[in-house]
Chains A and B, each alone.
Chain A
Amino acid sequence: MVKKPIVEQAMQEKKKDLKVITPSEKASIYKTENLNLWYGDKHALKDIQLDIKQNEVTAIIGPSGCGKSTYLKTLNRMVELVPSVRTTGEIHYRDRNILDKSYQVEELRTKVGMVFQKPNPFPKSIYDNIAYGPRIHGIKNRKILDEIVERSLRGAAIWDEVKDRLHENAYGLSGGQQQRICIARCLAIEPDVILMDEPTSALDPISTLKVEELVQELKKDYSIIIVTHNMQQAARISDKTAFFLNGEVIEYDETDKIFSNPADQRTEDYVSGRFG
């Protein structure tokens, strides 16, 4: 019983050594090992193995019901809001297993922000929407809040559009603006990773373009994992792409390779539009 931790420690040190050997590779942000997930009896994710890198845009594509959104929601444990969910396996976020019960979800979700499919601002003023996160984490100082609000709105490329109406209700904005408000709200908690669940599926083409440009900009400071139905979008904005089918990862590689020269026939069929 006493010896075991020492062995594990040694193995971890060995892993660290391995990383040093390949310095050109970016550090992992999320390492998923043997992840299985069930909704009641339905086996929704099967033996997922994924190694997601820092400061990259990772796209997750696949047909409806393939488990891509479920996987994304597992990364910040939002999936737990669904009753009767059961998971096995491990997801290491910066070397800590987030599926471990001792990992507080509130702590995790402060580091891992999320942008949802449908823009979901609170029915409050623009300012209060952005300040919501900092406030719940205990920031009360008005000056600091002002600064966070401005920086977050600038970060989401919407400051110029809303700076004169910060105290108006966010529901008065267009869908595309609302979605960028939601991105700003996510930036306000100064996250490390941003998860995006089909963030442009409810938006018009011009708003979609703005959000895509924003994703490119955000990549410099954040790691972004984006689920999308839109294959062109994945091809345009992502560095790596994972193709999900029936709860399994069929292929995970550089985006260029997935779209030009996939290894698996099913990936080729999907990206060439033969099904899905």
Chain B
Amino acid sequence: MNYIHHDTVVKRMSKRLLKNKIYKMLFLSATLLALLVLAVLGYRMIIQGTGYLNWDFFNNFSSRFPQNAGIKAALVGSIWLLAIVAPVSLILGVGAAVYLEEYAKKNRITTFIQMNISNLAGVPSIVFGLLGLTIFVRMLGMGKSVLAAGLTMSLLILPVIIVAAQEAIRAVPNELREASYGIGATKWQTILKVVLPSAIPGILTGGILALSRAIGETAPLVVIGIPVIIHFLPESIFSEFTALPMQIFDWAKRPQEEFQYVAAAGILVLMAVLVFMNSIAVIIRNKFSKRY
């Protein structure tokens, strides 16, 4: 018995090949559409914003007059914010991931915790803003400081960092752990010398992407009540400050048309910061992959 009739196969061939082409075009257009949107956005930003990108823009505080408005306070404020968010979220996030992957027994409680961490990653950022307002700003009396905003942002990206770090740690082959235990290493020695070095590229990639999110988030800052017109730079983690997305948001909602261009210039700066951070992620990852 022959089930494959070669005549029919030939007859159906053109139909199959057509389908093949259609799907290829479909996926290609999906990619092109995304790229197109990005290109239009980028083009508009550059056309509108470059005129304002000059030394004064970086060296001035914000102003009522578009020609005098600068991004100094917001740029420095964002860097201060990052200086809080990066250590807090990375130390807590990697610590939690190490505990969940290497120490915790797999039982119902850890499954429950795991599920909730994944759910937390999907909670809207404004909810974290409300949490930060209640706990850090009011209850702990930190005010609208860099510290309060930094801790809020850390909470916001913590679940993402935990999940990314967990995946990186899980990807370390078990044979390497066995090799280390097999010659009498303790758990901590194994984690420090075998697991974390192998997991670091993955942890850094996930971590820096999460940090870029913290740099770009606006909603929690709005809820906390971060001011937008500030004519001084933060002096300590308890100072008031403003941040890039807040500043852009403020300019964009002003009635004068010129401020739209100022906002575009601000967006270019924010994008440049993000591209810079992501390239650091790539560089660090490549450096570590060479060694491991």
Chain A residues near B (Cβ < 8 Å): 76, 78, 81, 83, 105-110, 113-114, 116, 118, 120-124, 132-133, 136-137, 182, 185-186, 188-189
Measured between beta carbons, the chain A residues less than 8 angstroms from B178 are 78, 81, 114, 116, 120
Binds A, one of B122-130, B185-193, B271-279: B185-193
Measured between beta carbons, the chain A residues less than 8 angstroms from B186 are 106, 136
Complexed CA–CA distance, A133 and B179 (Å): 10
Measured between beta carbons, the chain A residues less than 8 angstroms from B291 are 123-124
The interface residues of chain B, by DSSP majority, are classed as helix
Complexed CA–CA distance, A110 and B182 (Å): 8
> Provided the pairs A83-B106, A123-B198, A132-B193 are in contact, do residues A118 and B182 lie with their beta carbons within 8 angstroms?
no
> Provided the pairs A123-B292, A132-B193 are in contact, do residues A106 and B184 lie with their beta carbons within 8 angstroms?
yes
Measured between beta carbons, the chain B residues less than 8 angstroms from A188 are 183
B292→A133 contact, CB < 8 A: no
Contact of B194 with A by CB under 8 A = yes
Q: Would you list the 3 A-B pairs with minimal beta carbon distance, nearest first?
A: A110-B184, A120-B175, A109-B184
Minimal beta-carbon separation of B23 from chain A (angstroms): 39
Minimal beta-carbon separation of B187 from chain A (angstroms): 9
Complexed CA–CA distance, A76 and B182 (Å): 8
Measured between beta carbons, the chain A residues less than 8 angstroms from B173 are 120
B175→A109 contact, CB < 8 A: no
Q: 1/0 per residue B144-187: CB within 8 Å of A?
A: 00000000000000000000000000000101111111111110
Minimal beta-carbon separation of B181 from chain A (angstroms): 7
Contact of B105 with A by CB under 8 A = yes
A120→B184 contact, CB < 8 A: no
Measured between beta carbons, the chain A residues less than 8 angstroms from B179 are 116, 120-122, 182, 185
The number of A-B residue pairs with CB atoms under 8 Å apart is 70
Q: Which of B105, B175, B185 contacts A116 (CB 8 A)?
A: B175
B183→A133 contact, CB < 8 A: yes
Complexed CA–CA distance, A122 and B186 (Å): 16
Q: Sample 22 A-B pairs with CB under 8 A, ordered by A number.
A: A76-B182, A78-B182, A105-B181, A106-B186, A109-B182, A109-B184, A110-B183, A113-B183, A114-B183, A116-B182, A120-B176, A122-B179, A122-B180, A123-B176, A123-B291, A123-B292, A136-B184, A136-B185, A136-B186, A186-B183, A188-B183, A189-B183
Measured between beta carbons, the chain A residues less than 8 angstroms from B189 are 136
> Provided the pairs A122-B176, A123-B292, A136-B189 are in contact, do residues A81 and B198 lie with their beta carbons within 8 angstroms?
no
Q: 1/0 per residue B89-110: CB within 8 Å of A?
A: 0000000000000000110000
Complexed CA–CA distance, A171 and B186 (Å): 24
**Most chain A beta-carbon contacts within 10 A, residue among B180, B181, B291:** B181
Measured between beta carbons, the chain B residues less than 8 angstroms from A114 are 178, 182-183
Complexed CA–CA distance, A220 and B194 (Å): 32
A136→B182 contact, CB < 8 A: no
CB nearest to A185 among chain B residues: B183
Q: Which of A83, A116, A124, A137 contacts B184 (CB 8 A)?
A: A137
CB nearest to A134 among chain B residues: B183
CB nearest to B183 among chain A residues: A133
CB nearest to B182 among chain A residues: A114
CB nearest to A120 among chain B residues: B175
Complexed CA–CA distance, A50 and B198 (Å): 39
Complexed CA–CA distance, A104 and B180 (Å): 16
Complexed CA–CA distance, A110 and B186 (Å): 11
Measured between beta carbons, the chain B residues less than 8 angstroms from A189 are 183-184
CB nearest to A76 among chain B residues: B182
Measured between beta carbons, the chain B residues less than 8 angstroms from A81 are 177-178, 181
B176→A113 contact, CB < 8 A: no
7 more A-B residue pairs beyond the given contacts A105-B184, A108-B184, A120-B176, with a C-beta to C-beta distance below 8 A: A76-B182, A109-B183, A120-B173, A120-B178, A123-B176, A123-B292, A189-B183
Minimal beta-carbon separation of B24 from chain A (angstroms): 37
Minimal beta-carbon separation of A54 from chain B (angstroms): 21
Complexed CA–CA distance, A118 and B176 (Å): 11
Measured between beta carbons, the chain B residues less than 8 angstroms from A182 are 179
> Provided the pairs A83-B106, A136-B193 are in contact, do residues A106 and B185 lie with their beta carbons within 8 angstroms?
yes
Measured between beta carbons, the chain B residues less than 8 angstroms from A185 are 179, 183
Complexed CA–CA distance, A113 and B182 (Å): 6
Q: 1/0 per residue B189-208: CB within 8 Å of A?
A: 10001100010000000000
Minimal beta-carbon separation of A98 from chain B (angstroms): 13
Measured between beta carbons, the chain A residues less than 8 angstroms from B292 are 123-124
Complexed CA–CA distance, A116 and B179 (Å): 8
Complexed CA–CA distance, A113 and B184 (Å): 8
Measured between beta carbons, the chain A residues less than 8 angstroms from B198 are 123
Q: Which of B176, B184, B194 contacts A107 (CB 8 A)?
A: B184
Minimal beta-carbon separation of B223 from chain A (angstroms): 43
B183→A132 contact, CB < 8 A: yes
Complexed CA–CA distance, A116 and B184 (Å): 15
Complexed CA–CA distance, A80 and B217 (Å): 45
Complexed CA–CA distance, A137 and B183 (Å): 9
